Each structure stands twice: as structure tokens, then as C-alpha cells.
Amino acid sequence: MLRSLLPTVALGLSLGLSGASCTSGPPPGFAGGTGDRWSFPLVGALEDDLLITPVTIDGRGPFLFALDPDANISIVDEQLVKDVGLRTRKGPRRLDETDTQHPRFYAEVLALEIGNLIVERRDAMVVKTGTFDTIGRRIYGVLGKDVLADSLVFGFDRDQGLGYLTTVKAFKPPADAIAVPYQLVRSMISNAEVPPLGRRLAAATIGGETFSMHLDLGAQVSQLREKAWERAKLVPRDGTASLIDEVGTRRGVAKLGLAETVTLGTASAAKVAFVPYDDKRWNDQELDGTLGLDFFRAYSVWIHWDAKTYYLARRRTVAPATRADRWDVGALGRCKQLGCVSARLVDPVAGKPADPTKAHPGVVLAVTREELAGGMELEIVFEAKDRPELPRLVVNMAPTADRVMQHLKPEWVGVTLIVVDASPFPRACPAGDGCVDLLAR
């Protein structure tokens, strides 16, 4: 089955922000790396969706986690708690976006491993199984500010396929980076067991008007209060999205508005989708909405908490082999061909006289695994060379699949496919062994 990964808008995480920052080194319990720099691979790096990385919990896994520097505590779901055998306890209630407090349990995690970083002894809030699953991926939890800590600088580079943590002393912003200062605005709610944490606000221009926006790297989609849509020149249209807040409460929306251009300082993005902002913990005078990852899709991003500044650097072309080298697992670095697969597009009418009374039937994509990568899960991303109007093809292969075949439309006739990314973390396929997805470029 050919699935489409061209969502109108995708799952968003609206997670709380930590409080004060400091200029000290790594937090207690941090180890590995060089002691002042750590890196970790991103899954689906070219998808411009949530930031996702594999995490080992108490020696088990890896499990896929979303990254959200706004979450004041990391999160695990009930299935992970059961699989790893984590101890749980009842803890403070949490206030969600509907202004309702919910009881929550917390799990004791002895060790988190993310790339070359080891983080010891953290508590994680527990949510229902599947709460953060998104676009075919099983997401077991969220890494929050107890890992993406205030005393560090957090960044990500989708072209390299890597996320980064560095100490303040070791961090140097790229020479061409755009500096975007923000103002930290704290919550005025005082009667909640755990009050919502602050928001990082900066002035953004939408439709020629200025709005106070929270810069949210834990959400794919941007949000704006509905009463401001006319002023921002957003034209409502049908569209669906499911947003999850930091308590695990889901909110569905059924419309979106598209902004032709959004600017933030000297940074800009075209065709940014917005959904209605409806977090009842913040009033109209405090902020107008959020800018999600969709706005930042053309940039590599770093957040310097102590300087209250984002640094945005234009993305650069990286050789696909360099991006694939972020994985130090399985056969990905030893196969003859990038991604450990070969691909062919078979035209069933090639060489036959054209019949003007019949439409071209299209082509058949055949992807074959190299023997060296036998028994390994694979996700391979292909691009149509010199055809940017065509979506990328994401081929997912279970360990039991040696070949995946899929019919493609006639526009793929004569196309040359090139591998642009590879990963040992495929999506689950309805057919079991393998499938092909479409992904916007």
C-alpha cells in the first residue's frame, strides 16, 4: 500500500517551559561524550516533523522519544514502564491546556542513554500508551528540560541528522547565524499544584502585522488565536490536526490558515500553516500564539538559554553518505550501496509502441536489500534526481523483508532515484513486511 506522509498539519506537542537558567556546566548525572559536547542521531531527519531520537532506558531499548526543550520534565508512556519494569509513584497533579488539573504518576529512571550522552537518575511523568505516536511512528516518550538542560545549549541540524548539547563555554554560534532574542514570560497562575511554566516570546510578523509568539520547538504546527486570523490575513480552510499538551491531553482541530510569509527578525518562512491557539492557561494580553517547527524548517537551530537567544543558520547541502554515517549500528556503514539497498523503476511498456488510446500505466518500484543487511530493520529515503516537484519515497523494510515493490504513477517514468537518507528505525507497515510512503520535499 502506498501511504502519503503529506499531512496538512502534523501532531504537535505544546509542552511547558522551564524556569531560570544558569551558566554552570553540565547538570549532575551527565556523563559521556567529551564532557562538554554531546550529539545524538535524529530519526526522520529530513521530514521537518517532530525531533525524534532513539533512547535507551535502564539498558533496555532503544525506544523512540520526541524532543521538546519546553517540557520541564521528561515523559514515558505506560507500555515503556511495563516493558522496562520501572518503579512508579503518585506525584503532583498537572494543569493542562483546558485549565483542568489531572492526577499523574511518575516513574524512576536510573539511566537514559541518548547518542553519546548518559543521564543518571531522572523521574519521568507517565502518560497513556501511544499518547505521542505520530505519522506511523511509535513514540514512547518525550525528553524534556531535565535532559535538554538550562545550563547547556541545545541545537539540531536536520541535514547532518543530529541533535546537540554543549556547555555554554564550549558553544560558538555559526558565523552566519541570525540571533533572535526572546523574552521569558512567566505564568501568573498561583492556585495550581504545578503552575504552568514560562513561555519564550518574540515578535513575529504575519500578514504584515506583528504578534507576540512563543517559539516552540516541540510542535510541528504553528498556532494563532482565532480572533487574530483576520488581522494576520489567514484564510480558514478545512484541515485536521491533533495536538498534545505536556499533560498528555489531546486537542483536535478541524481548520487551518496558511500564511504566505512569516518573519522573525531577519529570518523568514513561506507557506506556514496555523491552527487555532486555545491554551486557556495564558490570556490574550500575554501572547498571541506559537511558532512551531514548520517555521524553522529552512534553518539549523540552537537555543542559548542563558543568553535568552535563538540562533538560526540557513541549512546547507550535506552528502547523503555523511548524513547516514550518524548511525553506528548494524550494516549501514559496511554495505556496498548507501542504505544497503538497490532500487529499480520498471516501466512495463518501455520499448513498446505508444498507444494513444490508453493512459500510461505507471511504473513499478522494486527495492532489494543487500545480503549484508539481512535481518535488519531499514528505512530508506529516495529522491527523484532533478525533479524537486516529486515527493520523496520512504521505503520501510521489516527484518523479514528482502524486497519491497510498489506501483507508482506515470510521472515517475524516466526518473533516476538517489538515496538521501537511511535509518534502522522504519515505520510500522500495514502489510507487515514492507511499504512505501510519500513525503513532501
Percent of the chain at pLDDT exceeding 70: 95
Phi, psi angle pair for 263, to nearest 5°: -120, 145
Q: Which of 298, 245, 260 is nearest to 48 (CA)?
A: 298
| pLDDT given for residue 69 in this prediction | 84
CA distance 359 to 17: 55
| pLDDT given for residue 247 in this prediction | 82
Model pLDDT for residues 261-316, shown as the tens digit of each residue = 999 999 999 999 999 999 999 999 999 999 999 999 999 999 999 999 999 999 99
Q: Look over the chain and give the mean of its residue pLDDT values, rounded to a whole number.
A: 90
Q: What is the DSSP string of 246-280?
A: TTS-EEEEEEEEEEEEEEETTEEEEEEEEEE---T
| Per-residue pLDDT at 402 exceeds 80 | yes
| Per-residue pLDDT at 438 exceeds 50 | yes
| Per-residue pLDDT at 111 exceeds 50 | yes
Question: If you average pLDDT over residues 161-165, what whole number do you get?
Answer: 97
Amino acid identity for residue 225 in this structure: R
| pLDDT given for residue 9 in this prediction | 37
| pLDDT given for residue 32 in this prediction | 87
pTM of the complete model beyond 0.85? yes
Phi, psi angle pair for 379, to nearest 5°: -130, 120
CA distance 66 to 140: 8
CA distance 199 to 222: 15
| Per-residue pLDDT at 142 exceeds 80 | yes
Task: Say which residue, 11 or 109, is predicted with more confidence.
Answer: 109
What nine digits make up the cell of 139?
513514540
Instruction: Name all domains of the chain by residue range, CATH numbers in brackets.
Output: 15-172 (2.40.70.10), 179-296 (2.40.70.10), 320-439 (no CATH)
| pLDDT given for residue 2 in this prediction | 55
Q: Which of 38, 287, 68 is nearest to 164 (CA)?
A: 38
- Distance of CA 58 to CAs 84, 109, 114, 132, 330, Å? 7, 7, 12, 21, 21
| pLDDT given for residue 5 in this prediction | 60
CA distance 56 to 147: 13
Question: If you average pLDDT over residues 218-231, what whole number do you get?
Answer: 95
**Bridging pattern class, strands 12-14 and 236-245:** parallel
CA distance 27 to 164: 15
Range with lowest mean pLDDT among 15-24, 288-297, 378-387: 15-24
- Distance of CA 51 to CAs 142, 208, 307, 315, Å? 10, 30, 23, 16
Residue 349: pLDDT band (50, 70, 90) is: confident
